[in-house]
Amino acid sequence: MATGPTTPLSHIDLQTLTSLFSQFNQMQQNSNRANLSPILDPTSHYYLHPGESPGTPLIASILNLNNYHTWETSMSRALRGKNKIKCIDGSLPKPPSDDPLFEAWERCNMYVGDIFCITAKQEDMSITDYFTKMKGIWEGLDNFKPVPSCESCHETCKCGLGIMRGYRQDTRMVRFLRGLSDQFTTVR
């Protein structure tokens, strides 16, 4: 079993979730406004082709519990082809919020962030096996697309990356819980 930081299931509560979702909605609204920005240079990492919007699949294969490595290979190839690999490996720093590229950065991040969703079902696995498998994939995804650490935040995060980290973690928990078999419906 892989080792790494573990999030206890009980860590998440409804209030945290609700506030994260509303923060996320705000971010989405901000990023929708970026549609009007003149980010039209196809050689820029910030450039999004009109067909490239969150929700548009980049590759044909969908990430599931058993295909992580082949999925990562083709996803990495597709992202390189679209000049987006820098959006996911953390090497494209987030511009300050008054920078004209700020919204474009958020939009690119949202676009690539959307790709990394896994929907899986527990099916006939034990809950422990199911969790272990999901955790292995999350760790792979964390290496593939790390959320950068805050540069200058101390106790509270002011740069927004904390929201991204929390959102990622909570989305995972929600998906994990949704994938549980019916015998656990009371958990959901």
- Residues forming contacts to Zn ion in the complex (CB under 5 A) are 150, 153, 157, 159, 161-162
Long-range contacts of range 16-19, CB-CB < 8 Å, 24 or more positions apart?
16/166, 16/170, 17/170, 17/174
Of residues 153 and 187, the one with the C-beta less far from Zn ion: 153
Of residues 95 and 140, the one with the C-beta less far from Zn ion: 95
Residue at shortest CB range from Zn ion: 150
Of residues 126 and 156, the one with the C-beta less far from Zn ion: 156
Least Å from the CB of residue 154 to Zn ion: 9
Helices and strands per DSSP (H, E), number in the chain? 6, 0
Of residues 9 and 153, the one with the C-beta less far from Zn ion: 153
Rg (CA), the chain: 17
The CA-based angle 83-151-22, given to 5 degrees, is 75
Contact 7, 173 (CB under 8 A): yes
Of residues 134 and 147, the one with the C-beta less far from Zn ion: 147
Least Å from the CB of residue 160 to Zn ion: 7
Tell me the two tokens of residue 133: 């498998």
Least Å from the CB of residue 149 to Zn ion: 8
Least Å from the CB of residue 161 to Zn ion: 5
Alpha-carbon distance 47 to 107, whole Å? 10
Least Å from the CB of residue 94 to Zn ion: 10
